[in-house]
Every structure is written in C-alpha cells, then in structure tokens.
Amino acid sequence: MGNEVVNVAPDDLAMVQEVLSDAEFGLWHAMSGVDQAHSIQVLRIFEELEPNSSQAEKSAALLHDVAKAISPMSRMARSAATIGSFRRERWRWYRQHELMGVEALQRVGSSQRTIELIARSAKDAVALNLYRADDSV
C-alpha cells in the first residue's frame, strides 16, 4: 500500500463541500487521499443505513478520522496501531485520534452533534449506524 495517491472525483468533492462548513472542509481537505476516500465510503454506507440523517450527522461521517491528518505516523504505522496493543507513546496518541478530532472540530465551530459522534459518546440508533458504517470499511 505505501504512499497511495487517491484522487477524489469532482462529484464527490462537490458533495463533501455541500455537507461541510468551510472550516470543516479545510480540515477534511488536509486528510490524505486515502482517508478522504474512506470518509466518502463511510458516508455512503451511513446514508444507506440512515437516509434521513442530518447534515451534522453526515459531517461526522466525513470527519470521523480528521485527526489522522495531523498524525506524525505513516499509514503503515497507523494500521499497525489500529490493530495492535502497543504501548509506545506516539501509538497511544494515535489510538486516541477521536479525541484529537473532537478538539479540532471544537476549534472550527462544528455542531455539538457532530462532535459527540466523532467522540463516539452518542449511543442512539443513528450513532450506532454511523459507527457500524465506519467499522465496515
């Protein structure tokens, strides 16, 4: 896999810009192409599960991995950290990326609903479907 370059299709990019605020789009745009493509996949699956989801909930689908954009780790190391139980400090930091994402989204004024979904603190049916969508790809 290495340094895969993934280009987001123009229609997908327009859809992302429609869902996210300008500040949120700036965070999303800083993500790697692979992470951007993953976020779009998550959104598509989530919309199938929750066709009446709100804009804030769709934003969470797109931004759930936003902290990975500031991770000092390579994609390979991030993959290992995700599946491993490592104790090294930078890997521990990576495994807490939802919290880092919450902090970034608070700084740009994201909605409380988006933030609680990114933090995985919401436990309602819509939230569970978002988490299910993320875990499926």
Q: What is the pLDDT along the chain (137 residues), one digit of tens a residue?
A: 344 557 899 999 999 999 999 999 999 999 989 999 999 999 999 999 999 999 999 999 999 988 877 654 455 444 444 444 445 555 455 556 667 788 899 999 999 999 999 998 999 999 999 999 999 99
Residue 76: Cβ-neighbour burial (10 angstroms; 0-12, 13-18, 19+) = exposed
Question: In this predicted structure, what is the pLDDT of residue 127?
Answer: 98
Question: In this predicted structure, what is the pLDDT of residue 97?
Answer: 63
Q: Which amino acid is at 121?
A: S
Question: In this predicted structure, what is the pLDDT of residue 67?
Answer: 84
Residue 31: Cβ-neighbour burial (10 angstroms; 0-12, 13-18, 19+) = buried
Question: In this predicted structure, what is the pLDDT of residue 86?
Answer: 47
Question: In this predicted structure, what is the pLDDT of residue 78?
Answer: 46
The H helix count followed by the E strand count for the chain is 9, 0
Domain ranges of the chain: 10-136
